[in-house]
């Protein structure tokens, strides 16, 4: 270092000193700011580092972010004995709790083990030894994917399809397999070893590439029946996969990095997936035909269920809700129903919508908490009855033949009150319309909370964190530009063109698909949030965690 300090001391005490700021040191990295370990040191009462390299054991110590023992040679050791050990003691004055999120920590360690074949990671709990755990996947993604499928029938049966491609600016690794009878689909994605639970452009590009490869295979071998066209969902309905992408300078939405937004990555993934799978399909014809038949069967089912739904005219058939502004298209798969909070927002949504494919149903305030209401009684609520009639599906029905829309989109304000309404609607669908959730029909729209004007450019931010990131990027690019921030008090405050651009236009909006994982603890979470019998538990939880709420 230019000041003569050892590298470990610089990294522990100086912000933005990480090697990942140079592509010569790290081609791919998950961190973006170079402040991680130095912030840990600053927020710890003690931090100690043990370093073993070149046959020497070194030690350096810090207290309250300051170096209290310089890098010291402790002992001579064998040269093959190498590694670094960091111990830290978090300072309670900076944190709401002194407890670590063990579940999240284990999830991250599992991800690292999966994505680094042959690397063994061990979690040791000295207080509760029975909770200790270790992870090792010699074969990496394929090994992990098979273990997650619990012996389900697979296509191909021998081992998952493995893709590994590396170029100057991107590395793609993926394991995928089709499971016709499995009740649980595995779909995990990572960027630079970071789990992207909400997917993103890499997953979309990957799905598109494989769909194109399967379509091409079917067309070349004349497998497609007349009038059948395979969609992306037809191919992916039974597909389980684990996707890992390593790329320079990834762009994420939000500080949590749960969704990748880098557009160039999506384009690259489409090309990589299409080429790799086209080659595999033509080299493994028997398994390829099985995959194609699954997709064709799914397409047939979709065609049957999406046959023309005649839009009811006044006075013909069961009366639709009077507040419903229906769409005109007869193609179910192309249509969307927006459940909108309030008449004011409903009015803006009606002006912003595509009248051919988008229907609007305004809801009056907060709907009934239906989590503990029997499905036989839930239609007693006027709002729930309106939703059921508009959908064409009865509560707790196991069939979706009568479903009138391809997507159901929950659209509420981007504030705490809107989140409450969205939670009540999510509970309604999970509890009383589970068949819609299982078939991937229910979505939550993500309207922005802020509009940012920078000169003639307009940006939108989902929340406070995204606002901070957006304004920082603008100032970096244009230091002298005037920035004006507008906070939307509700959807009704947006004009129709803004609502269309940010929330309703399929090309520019953000939607989250509502799904249930078998081990996700969904029921216990909703019980804690909405069950009357857990009021005491809810109060205790709010007193402990309420300060983390974004209001």
Catalytically active residues are 341, 413, 415, 417
Measured in degrees and rounded to the nearest 5, phi and psi for residue 500 equal: -65, -45
Instruction: Tell me if 349 sits within 8 A of 491, measured CB to CB.
Output: yes
Q: For residue 341, give the nearest of 317, 311, 355, 362 by alpha carbon.
A: 362
d(CA 538, CA 331): 44
Residues in the chain: 551
E-state strands within 377-424: 407-411
d(CA 429, CA 408): 10
Q: For residue 196, give the nearest of 81, 115, 307, 122 by alpha carbon.
A: 115
Measured in degrees and rounded to the nearest 5, phi and psi for residue 530 equal: -125, -15
Q: Which residue has the tokens 């993500």?
A: 446
d(CA 167, CA 173): 12
Q: For residue 203, give the nearest of 231, 245, 142 by alpha carbon.
A: 245
**What percent of the chain is helix, strand and coil (3-state, nearest 5)?**
40, 20, 40
In this structure, what token pair is assigned to residue 190? 């990572």
SS (H, E, C) 134-162: EECCCCCHHHHHHHHCCCCCCECCCCCEE
Measured in degrees and rounded to the nearest 5, phi and psi for residue 408 equal: -115, 120
E-state strands within 31-142: 44-53, 56-63, 66-76, 83-90, 121-123, 133-135
Give, in degrees to the nearest 5, the angle at Cα 177 between 171 and 181.
155
Q: For residue 478, give the nearest of 500, 501, 452, 504 by alpha carbon.
A: 452
> How many Cα neighbours within 13 Å face the side chain of 441?
26
Bridge partners (DSSP) of residue 341 are: 363
Instruction: Tell me if 59 sits within 8 A of 85, measured CB to CB.
Output: no
Q: For residue 172, give the nearest of 109, 115, 108 by alpha carbon.
A: 115
CB burial of residue 498 (10 Å; 0-12, 13-18, 19+): buried
In this structure, what token pair is assigned to residue 235? 């191919």
The CA-to-CA distance between both ends of the chain, in Å, stands at 44
Give, in degrees to the nearest 5, the angle at Cα 253 between 248 and 254.
115
Give start and end residues of each alpha helix (H) in 433-463: 434-438
Burial 187-202 (b: 16+ CB within 10 A, else e): bbbbbbbbbbebbbbb
């Amino acid at each position: 270092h230019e000041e003569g300090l050892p590298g470990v001391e610089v990294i522990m005490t100086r912000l933005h000193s990480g090697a990942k700021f140079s592509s010569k040191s790290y081609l791919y990295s998950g961190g973006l700011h170079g402040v991680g370990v130095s912030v840990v040191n600053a927020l710890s009462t003690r931090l100690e580092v043990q370093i073993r390299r070149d046959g020497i054991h070194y030690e350096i110590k810090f207290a309250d972010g300051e170096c209290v023992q310089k890098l010291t040679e402790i002992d001579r050791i064998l040269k093959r004995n190498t590694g670094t050990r960091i111990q830290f003691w978090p300072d309670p004055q900076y944190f709401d709790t002194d407890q670590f999120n063990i579940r999240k920590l284990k999830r991250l360690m599992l991800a690292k083990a999966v994505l680094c074949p042959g690397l063994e990671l061990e979690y040791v709990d000295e207080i509760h030894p029975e909770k200790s755990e270790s992870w090792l996947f010699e074969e990496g993604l394929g090994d992990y994917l098979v273990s997650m499928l619990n012996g389900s029938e697979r296509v191909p049966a021998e081992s998952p399809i493995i893709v590994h491609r590396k170029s100057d600016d991107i590395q793609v690794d993926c394991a995928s397999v089709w499971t016709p009878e499995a009740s649980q689909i595995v779909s995990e994605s990572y960027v630079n070893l970071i789990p992207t639970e909400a997917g993103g452009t890499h997953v979309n590009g990957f799905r598109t590439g494989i769909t194109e490869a399967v379509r091409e295979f079917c067309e070349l071998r004349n497998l497609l029946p007349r009038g059948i066209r395979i969609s992306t969902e037809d191919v992916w309905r039974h597909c389980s996969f684990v996707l890992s992408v390593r790329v320079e300078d990834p762009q994420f939405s939000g500080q949590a990095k749960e969704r990748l937004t880098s557009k160039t990555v999506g384009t690259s993934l489409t090309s990589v997936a299409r080429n790799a799978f086209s080659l595999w399909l033509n080299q493994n014809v028997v398994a390829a035909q099985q995959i194609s038949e699954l997709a064709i069967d799914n397409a047939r089912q979709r065609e049957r269920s999406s046959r023309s739904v005649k839009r009811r005219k006044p006075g013909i058939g069961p009366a639709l809700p009077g507040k419903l502004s229906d769409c005109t298209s007869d193609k179910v798969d192309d249509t969307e129903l927006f459940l909108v909070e309030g008449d004011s927002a409903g009015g803006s949504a009606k002006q912003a919508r595509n009248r051919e494919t988008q229907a609007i149903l305004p809801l009056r305030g907060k709907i009934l908490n239906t989590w503990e209401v029997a499905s036989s009684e839930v239609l007693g609520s006027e709002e729930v009855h309106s939703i059921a009639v508009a959908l064409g599906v009865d509560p707790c029905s196991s069939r979706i033949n009568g479903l009138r829309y391809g997507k159901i989109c929950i659209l509420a304000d981007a504030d705490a009150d809107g989140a409450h309404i969205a939670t009540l609607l999510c509970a309604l669908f999970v509890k009383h319309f589970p068949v819609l959730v299982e078939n991937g029909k229910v979505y939550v729209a993500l309207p922005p909370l802020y509009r940012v004007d920078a000169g003639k450019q307009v940006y939108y931010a989902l929340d406070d964190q995204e606002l901070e990131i957006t304004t920082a990027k603008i100032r970096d690019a244009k230091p002298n530009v005037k920035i004006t921030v507008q906070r939307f008090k509700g959807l009704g405050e947006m004009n129709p063109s803004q609502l269309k651009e940010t929330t309703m236009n399929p090309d520019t909006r953000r939607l989250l698909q509502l799904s249930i994982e078998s081990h996700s603890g969904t029921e216990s979470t909703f019980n804690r949030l909405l069950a009357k019998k857990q009021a005491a538990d809810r109060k205790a939880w709010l007193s402990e965690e309420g300060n983390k709420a974004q209001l």
